[in-house]
A and B are shown apart, each in its own frame.
Chain A
Amino acid sequence: MSVSPTVGATPGDDLTMAKRRRRLFSLGGWELSLLVLLIIVTTSFGLGVPGFFDNLSGFLAMTSNFLPFGIVALGLSLVIFTGGIDLSVGATASLAAVVAAQLWATMGLNIWVASLLGLAMGGLLGGINAAVIVLLRIEPLIATLATSFIYTSAAVAVAGDSPPSGFPDAFNNMGSGAMAWGSFQFPYQLLIFIPLAVLFWLLVTRSAFGRKLVTVGYNSEAARYSGIRVPRVLAAAYVISGMMAALAGLVLSAYYSAARADMGDVLLLTTIAMVVLGGVSIFGGEGRMGGVIVAVLLLGLLRQGMLIAGFSDMVTSMLTGAILIGSIAIRNIFSTRVGGFGKRLLALIRRPAIAGPDATRHDAP
């Protein structure tokens, strides 16, 4: 997935790279459309669905129901930027949260110290993922699928027959509490998410690491020849993804005031949806952090709004799937890189003979 050896650096790539790099700083067309969609969704729910926007505090409080997904999405984006995937985010979240909770429950550790250890645990699990991928040369998809089985089993074993629950209120507040100024309340989860979102946005757009990350994903061979230490970049991406997953797991256990071995299961698919909807190419090397952040809010608020409007979980899940297919289809049709339907159609009409190799190049990964 990360490497497609047949792809050589063509002269045109330099140009697009430069163009893309400049565009990374701003919001592109895709991100703007997402933002417009977010505003439309929010205002129409706000006007049409009683209970969605009663007051600003209540509206903000709703974000606590989906921001753990956003935290995972931030870390997962880095991995997907490199052209990889981390299927173990859910299992990592569960394991880190369960380990932290058990440290608190059985060893009597301070809950915050235990949380820090849980966070470190997430980093370690991400490091294991990276080691399996880089040292054993196993495809990220298979590697993280395998480790997710291992992490899940470990989480079940650590959780035991009666998983810990009933954490101190100060900790629970991190998941469901809010800072209050008079009658205005600002959820702690947002206080965690906003700085992280800014940090990740800066990391990808303004730092050398971010550029390396995207370059590795765009063409890992080229990155290697241009002196980037690809394994190190990959390792950093997976470690960060693991830590973000662990943080999400901790926030979830604060939200539920309970840690369970299956807690992170729901995270994976929705966060992949958020990252892809945000415009990050699943093949790597393309996309913007801003898009991911908007997609987190869009999918999250859309789901909350639909639930409040009385649609069943079934309908909202189906809609998430449909949006995902729709968004990728639209991107593929207009994408200049991935051999999209629209491009292929054009190629067929113009020069049928050339269309073949071009299409295989992009379908390969």
Chain B
Amino acid sequence: MITARRMLVLAAAATLAIASAVSAQTVDTSKRIKVAMVPKLVGLSVFKANQQGAEAAAKTLNIDFLYTGPVTASAQGQVDVFNSLIARKFDVITTTSNNPTQLAPALKRAMKQGIKVVSYDSDVSPDARDFFIQNTEYPAFGKALVDSVAKYIPADSEVAILSSTKDATIQNEWINALTAYMKTAYPKMKIVTTEYGQSDPSKSLTAGLNILQAHPNVAAIIAPDGASEVGAAAAVQKLGRTGKVFVTGCSNPDAIRQYVKAGIIKASPLWDEVKEGQLVMHVARLAANNALKPNDTFSVPGLGDYTVKDKVIIFSEPLIFTAENIDQYKF
């Protein structure tokens, strides 16, 4: 009798093992774990969209989920939060960093205590995290940015760039990528100036007005930052250049909806922040289970298949918001 039951259990276990090996989808959720999501700052709608996705995924993955972060976008504030999470013995810390280097010592302390660190959106130094989920590949996003305006302006147009800050890693990567793509795809197009709006709405507006007034021939502003895209679009509207100057960038749909409807922004690439939040939780779960190798593949139900390469996971292709589809996205 006992042996029979044991046989049955063994058989069941074997079937399970085979099943999981075949589909590679079954995540071990037997142990409840504590996972924290630390955004650059609390109260920003893109990060809230991440939270929304993460919270939903956490429920299915047996995760105690905590969303916490600093009030202002400061690395110090994030380090304070990390220190508290270390003291509270969290299993996984997920974060998008305000600054790659300043966060490293605190995160390394966490890793030393066995806490897994997953960064998403903005990376930290590679030695201070276990995995990094990159929003999109830089070349793909650079291409999407250029295509979002180039279709609507003459091929020999003047284009301006309005970025966040001079040392913003992602923005600089995108600018490099879009410049490279523009050279091959639209060789006659010219970037006449690059300004910085410091991720601040009013400074971005001022910078946008400066661009339009100093360079009257500019036909498009590429503003790869949430605040600067809005600032550039507002500047176009303020100076009555709607239809003559097109704007694109990287902002959440709620912030740019009115400008998309007004025709100032024809297309604007981003990615699905809600789904990205889900992916972050899945990776956190896998990391806590020690089920993910630095070079690996895995799949997430409802999201798709992913490849881990040197601890980096690319989340998705850019998602382009246009007047047609923007109302489907609310974040």
Chain A interface, >50% SS class: helix
Distance in Å: Cβ of B7 to nearest Cβ of chain A: 44
Cβ B84 vs Cβ A166 within 8 A: no
Contacts across chains A and B counted by CB atoms under 8 Å: 78
Q: What's the Cα separation between A65 and B82 when bound, in Å?
A: 11
Is B323 among interface residues, defined by CB-CB distance under 8 A?
Answer: no
Q: Is A255 an interface residue (CB 8 A)?
A: yes
A163 touches B84 (CB 8 A): no
Given known A65-B83, A257-B105, A266-B74, contact A51–B167 (CB-CB < 8 A): no
* Stretch from B55-63, B65-73, B150-158, B235-243 contacting the other chain: B65-73
Question: Which residue of B77, B87, B103 is within 8 Å of A313 (Cβ)?
Answer: B77
Chain B, Cβ-Cβ closest to A265:
B74
A176 at the interface (CB under 8 A from B): yes
- A51: which B residues are within 8 A, CB to CB? 87-89
**A residues apposed to B, CB below 8 Å:** 50-52, 58, 62, 65, 160-163, 165-166, 172, 175-176, 255-258, 260, 262-263, 265-266, 303-304, 307-308, 310, 312-314, 317
Q: A52-B87, A161-B166 are in contact. Are A312 and B68 (CB under 8 A)?
A: yes
Q: Is B81 an interface residue (CB 8 A)?
A: yes
Whole-angstrom distance between the Cβ of A104 and the nearest chain B Cβ: 14
Given A51-B89, A307-B80, A313-B80, A260 contacting B99 (CB threshold 8 A): yes
Q: B189 on the interface (CB 8 Å rule)?
A: no
- How many angstroms from the CA of A161 to the CA of B76 in the assembled complex? 19
Decide: A256 and B87 in contact? CB cutoff 8 A. no
Chain B nearest CB, measured from A24 CB (Å): 34
- Determine if A165 and B71 form an interchain contact, defined as CB atoms under 8 angstroms apart: no
CB of B71 within 8 A of CB of A166, answer: no
CB pair B42–A314 under 8 Å, yes or no, is yes
In contact, A308 and B104 (Cβ under 8 angstroms):
no
Asked whether A256 and B84 contact (CB < 8 A) given A161-B166, A161-B167, A313-B69, the answer is no
B71 touches A256 (CB 8 A): no
Query: CA of A163 to CA of B84 in the docked complex: distance in angstroms?
Result: 27
Query: A256 near B105 (CB under 8 angstroms)?
Result: yes
Q: Smallest CB-CB separation from B172: which chain A residue?
A: A161
Write the nearest CB–CB distance from A268 to chain B, whole angstroms: 13
Report whether B83 and A172 are in contact in the complex, using a CB–CB cutoff of 8 Å: no
Beyond A162-B167, A313-B70, whether A255 also contacts B105 by CB under 8 A is yes
A sample of 18 cross-chain residue pairs with beta-carbon separation below 8 angstroms, ordered by A number, consists of: A50-B88, A51-B87, A65-B80, A163-B167, A165-B101, A172-B105, A175-B105, A256-B79, A256-B102, A256-B103, A257-B104, A260-B75, A260-B102, A263-B102, A307-B80, A307-B81, A308-B88, A313-B77
In the complex, what residues of A have CB within 8 A of residue B66's CB?
Answer: 310
Complex-state Cα separation, A314 to B99, whole angstroms: 20
CA distance in complex: A123, B69 (Å): 35
A159 to B187, CA, bound (A): 35
CB distance from A309 to the nearest CB of B (A): 8
* Residue of chain B at shortest CB distance from A254: B105
Contacts of B104 in A (CB 8 A): 165, 256-258
Q: In the complex, what's the smallest C-beta–C-beta distance from B133 to chain A, in angstroms?
A: 23
Complex CA gap A160/B69 in Å reads 27
Chain A residue at minimum C-beta to C-beta distance from B99: A260
B residues near A62, Cβ cutoff 8 Å: 83, 87
Contacts of B79 in A (CB 8 A): 65, 256
Q: How far is the CB of A259 from chain B (nearest CB, A)?
A: 9
Q: Is the CB of A308 within 8 A of B76?
A: no
- CB–CB B84/A308 < 8 A: yes
Chain A residues near B71 (CB, 8 Å)? 313-314, 317
Contact (Cβ within 8 A) A313 B68? yes
Say yes or no: B88 contacts A312, CB within 8 Å: no
Residues in A neighbouring B68, C-beta threshold 8 A: 310, 312-313
- From residue 100 to 123 of chain B, which have CB atoms closer than 8 A to chain A? 101-105, 109
- Shortest CB-to-CB span from B136 to chain A, Å, is 23
| A62–B82 CA distance with the chains assembled, in angstroms | 12
Bound CA span A325–B189, Å? 58
- Contacting pair A307 B69 (CB below 8 A): no
**Contact between A313 and B101 (Cβ–Cβ < 8 Å)?**
no
Chain B residues whose C-beta falls within 8 Å of the C-beta of A161 in the assembled complex? 166-167
Closest-by-CB residue of B relative to A58 is B87
Across chains A and B, which 6 residue pairs bring their CB atoms closest together, nearest first?
A307-B84, A165-B101, A51-B87, A258-B101, A256-B102, A308-B87
Given contacts A172-B105, A258-B101, 13 further A-B contacts (CB under 8 A): A50-B88, A58-B87, A62-B83, A62-B87, A65-B83, A161-B167, A165-B101, A307-B80, A307-B84, A310-B84, A312-B42, A313-B77, A314-B71
Q: B240 → chain A, closest Cβ, in Å? A: 34
CA distance A317 to B72 in the complex (A): 11
Task: Check B105–A304 contact: CB distance below 8 A.
Answer: no
Residue among B81, B87, B104 with the highest chain A CB neighbour number at 10 A: B87
Binary CB contact string for chain B from 84 to 97 against chain A (1 if under 8 A, 0 otherwise) = 10011100000000
Task: With a 10 A CB-CB cut-off, give which of B70, B102, B167 has the most chain A CB atoms.
Answer: B102
- Shortest Cβ distance from residue A185 to the other chain B in the assembled complex, whole angstroms: 13
Contacts of A312 in B (CB 8 A): 42, 68-69
- Report the bound CA distance from A300 to B76 in whole Å: 14
State A265–B71 Cα separation when bound (angstroms).
Answer: 14
CB of A307 to closest CB in B, whole Å: 4
Chain B, Cβ-Cβ closest to A317: B71
Provide the bound-state CA to CA distance between A165 and B71, in Å: 25
- Residues in B whose Cβ lies below 8 Å from that of A262: 74
- In the complex, A218 Cα to B77 Cα: how many Å? 37
- What chain A residues lie within 8 Å of B74 (beta carbons)? 262, 265-266
Chain A residues positioned under 8 Å from B87 (CB to CB): 51-52, 58, 62, 308
Contact with A along B23-56 (1 / 0, CB 8 A): 0000000000000000000100000000000000
Tell me the bound Cα distance from A53 to B102 in angstroms: 26
What are the residues of chain B within 8 A of A50 when measuring CB–CB? 88
Q: Which residue of A lies closest to B86 (CB)?
A: A51
For A160, list chain B residues within 8 Å (CB). Answer: 167
Establish whether residues A304 and B84, one from each chain, have CB atoms under 8 Å apart when the complex forms: yes
Per the bound structure, the CA–CA distance linking A360 and B59 in Å amounts to: 62
Instruction: State A120–B109 Cα separation when bound (angstroms).
Output: 32
Cα–Cα, bound, A176→B70 (Å): 21
Kindly provide the distance from the CB of B320 to the nearest chain A CB, expressed in whole angstroms: 30
**Contact in complex: B83, A307 (CB < 8 Å):** yes
The reply to whether B81 and A313 contact each other, CB–CB distance below 8 Å, is yes
